[in-house]
Amino acid sequence: MILIIVRILIQIIIELEKIKIVNRKKPTDEADGHLPYKAEEDLIPPMAVAGEGYNVMTTGLTHDERGYPALEVDAQKVLLTRLLDKIRKNKDKIIKLEEYMLDDAEFVIISFGISSRAAKGAVNLARKKGLKAGYLRLITIWPFPDEQIYQIAEKVKAVFITEINSGQVTREVQRVVKGKAEVHGLLKLGGAIHTPTEIVEEIERRMK
């Protein structure tokens, strides 16, 4: 038991060493008259450190550049537009995917969250049965990886999505694929998890 715990701790330490720390920008203007939420060209406002003379304002409400809650339509539009544009501008940095056996795949299983392990297992099982399966895990879901999924869909016959819900991601994939490949949602409700065998059996049934 002790050895297992030590091994887990070592793995955690190794993973932490891989994490890149990016420090927030600090303001360079004078503290007097400083606007804590005034964004720069990259749409990210510098963040002042409490105790260094700046008026540090934080709120979970829609706010203006001063950090004061703002309910006016114009203020809300400005803030939401900046937040959305910030994400769109940095989507290539945000999107994270895991690809597996896609080079010669005739169909791909897209998964995310807890169903990912079963989906990857299904690819291995399908390969043993002579089926050219590939795997794409959405480590991040939003912003949605439109371009990456479309490029994969151009090369395969069908796309299968494992979801423990009613098909929210399946509908996004259908929107992106635009008929380049068949799209099938392998959906489960109630919290039950897919098994690799179930996934492969369903794929075999639908690929006939």
Q: Are residues 50 and 83 in the same domain?
A: yes
Residue that is last in its domain, among 61, 89, 117: 89
Q: Is residue 84 part of a domain?
A: yes
- Across residues 23-46, what is the average pLDDT? 87
- Across residues 170-187, what is the average pLDDT? 93
- Domain range enclosing 115: 94-206
Q: Are residues 56 and 151 in the same domain?
A: no
Cα distance between residue 190 and residue 170, in whole Å: 18
Q: Are residues 83 and 108 in the same domain?
A: no
- pTM of this structure: 0.80
**69-123 pLDDT tens trace:** 998 999 999 999 999 999 999 999 999 999 999 999 999 999 999 999 999 999 9
**116-169 pLDDT tens trace:** 999 999 999 999 999 999 999 999 999 999 999 999 999 999 999 999 999 999
Q: Is residue 9 part of a domain?
A: no
Q: How many domains does the chain have?
A: 2
Q: Are residues 135 and 171 in the same domain?
A: yes
Task: Confirm if 42 and 54 have CB atoms less than 8 A apart.
Answer: no
Residue that is last in its domain, among 67, 89, 111: 89
Cα distance between residue 48 and residue 107, in whole Å: 50
Task: Confirm if 157 and 183 have CB atoms less than 8 A apart.
Answer: no
Q: Are residues 191 and 108 in the same domain?
A: yes
DSSP strands (E only) in the chain: 97-100, 107-111, 133-138, 158-163, 182-187
| Model confidence at 13: pLDDT above 70 | no
State the sign of the Cα–Cα–Cα–Cα dihedral 192, 121, 201, 147.
Answer: positive
Q: How confident is the model at residue 12 (pLDDT cuts 50, 70, 90)?
A: low
Q: Are residues 129 and 174 in the same domain?
A: yes
Q: Are residues 201 and 108 in the same domain?
A: yes
Return the number of other C-beta atoms located less than 10 Å from residue 124's C-beta.
14
Q: Is residue 174 part of a domain?
A: yes
Please state, rounded to an integer, the average pLDDT across all residues of the chain: 88
